[in-house]
Structure 1
């Protein structure tokens, strides 16, 4: 069996999302649920866009404190295209670090694992290539926002 080399990553963009305080529906059979409204933000890099207010992050918190994200946002590019962006992600780490993040503290991202797998969808011909690539990102949770560095898997 042939072993293939690992794919390379190339920088796509940095993205910052501003968010509201979470809505807390409570524990369900899936885990503790949180819904966080995205109020705005921006993407800068190979794609330059503003985040249209109104997206959501539907979070499931597992028993061990690990957060599973399910996010849907809309991007409006500087050249007037609309790009839908969804991603699933995971944020985990030592319990005391997760508690500090939950309390709104500014925690060094080297202390926890925060990765996502963005998927883009657009009808804009100039951004059609986004429909045909895989992406990964690394995130950092700050008190009132979330920042990501997004990479294209080559």
Structure 2
């Protein structure tokens, strides 16, 4: 039987401006994006705790390898998430990735951005244990100020 996906929940994350650690279009760019907060809806309900970070390395060809760490406060307890993935923009926008202003995302059609990740979860309450018993896939959408993460359980 082939796997299927079941929508579980959405995390709408508010982010701050990136902190650029290093940037060289010939070698790549390392940036840290602070996670300020957000909302969670679906099978989980709650909010994103401030203090998380999305660590990104943007390769010279524009492929972004990301590793985000953040926590949720839900009605059933706290959830810690490690979300690792990739984001790829149309080549026409690659040069914009090496600047400081992420506002250019408003000009990139969301459907033209490949943005997928594989989250893993740590939980502190037995009611949330279901998050640790399945594989999840994250389908993400990036806007100038937010990141919407749709979490799907692989059945």
Q: What TM-score do the two structures reach when normalised by structure 1?
A: 0.88
Q: Secondary structure at the match of 1:53?
A: coil
Give, in angstroms, the shift of residue 105 of structure 1: 3.0
For 2:121, the equivalent position in structure 1 comes to 120
Task: Please say if residues 104 and 142 of structure 1, whose CA atoms lie closer than 8 Å, have aligned partners that are also in contact.
Answer: no
Instruction: State whether structure 2 residue 6 is matched by structure 1 residue 10.
Output: yes
For 1:152, the equivalent position in structure 2 comes to 153
Instruction: State whether structure 2 residue 101 is matched by structure 1 residue 104.
Output: no
Using the TM superposition, name which of 121-130 and 95-104 deviates more. Answer: 95-104
Give, in angstroms, the shift of residue 149 of structure 1: 1.2
Change (3 A) 1:99 1:78: farther
Task: Please say if residues 70 and 88 of structure 1, whose CA atoms lie closer than 8 Å, have aligned partners that are also in contact.
Answer: yes
Distance (Å, rounded) in 1 between the aligned partners of 2:140 and 2:95 = 17
**How many residues are matched?**
148
Task: Please say if residues 61 and 94 of structure 2, whose CA atoms lie closer than 8 Å, have aligned partners that are also in contact.
Answer: no
Give, in angstroms, the shift of residue 25 of structure 1: 0.7
Give, in angstroms, the shift of residue 42 of structure 1: 1.2
Task: Please say if residues 36 and 58 of structure 1, whose CA atoms lie closer than 8 Å, have aligned partners that are also in contact.
Answer: yes
CA RMSD of aligned residues (A): 1.8
Q: Secondary structure at the match of 1:96?
A: helix
Q: Secondary structure at the match of 1:50?
A: strand
Structure 2 segments unaligned to the other structure (5+ residues): none
Structure 1 segments unaligned to the other structure (5+ residues): none
For 1:130, the equivalent position in structure 2 comes to 131
Task: Please say if residues 139 and 148 of structure 1, whose CA atoms lie closer than 8 Å, have aligned partners that are also in contact.
Answer: yes
Distance (Å, rounded) in 1 between the aligned partners of 2:45 and 2:23 = 38
Task: Please say if residues 97 and 111 of structure 1, whose CA atoms lie closer than 8 Å, have aligned partners that are also in contact.
Answer: no
